[in-house]
Amino acid sequence: MFVLGLTGSIGMGKSTTAQMFVEEGCALWDADAAVHRLYAEGGAAVPLIREMFPAAIEDNAVSRARLKDIIVADPTTLERIESIVHPLVAEDRAAFIAQATSDIVVLDIPLIFETGGETKVDAVACVIIDPDTQAARVMARGTMSRAQFEAIRAKQLPADEKAARSKYVIETDTIEHARRQVQAVVKDIRENQIHA
């Protein structure tokens, strides 16, 4: 089994590209979806976060909005929250890999380089697009202000640096072009990495 990390900054087309890997027969694990499961009612993070930050719990689930307010009020709490969540996410990922039956497992991890996750995969694929298109895509979602977007972008490793550190780079200028590149990555892994 080949484990491929998939990364890319906000608005680069990573979620769309991840689905293309699924269409090519790869198993897909999504870090953000794992956190949603852990924060949902009955999720493993709920009792642990309740113990440390009772105000973050709403309807027996972790409220991301309340958690964000707690972090904004005291940025030092972020490390404590991560110390709870990161090990649970790692367990979720390990369990997924252990039960996966596909020859290629794609781990959708936006902050793979920022968290040292590249050491836990066989290779990294990075999705990329020019900064203007990136900004236009994010603004078109209507979910955040330009200032919020710039703040997120500033926290992430620069896109060109992510691309330089990745084995594969997928330009998401068009759906067709991205799909051809995904197919080429899968072909390379199946022909040259797995059976090498």
What is the residue extent of each domain of the chain? 1-26+104-196, 32-101
Beta-carbon neighbour count of residue 159 at 10 Å? 23
Whether 101 and 93 have beta carbons less than 8 Å apart is answered as no
Q: What are phi and psi of 173, to 5 degrees?
A: -70, -35
Supply angle C-alpha 155, 48, 83, rounded to 5.
35
How far apart CA 1 and CA 17 sit, in angstroms, is 20
End-to-end, the C-alpha distance of the chain in Å comes to: 12
pLDDT of residue 195: 63
CATH number, domain 1-26+104-196: 3.40.50.300
How far apart CA 62 and CA 152 sit, in angstroms, is 22
Whether 169 and 163 have beta carbons less than 8 Å apart is answered as yes
pLDDT of residue 72: 86
pLDDT of residue 193: 84
Q: Residue 192 gets which letter from DSSP?
A: I
pLDDT of residue 196: 53
Give the residues of the chain that fall short of pLDDT 50: none
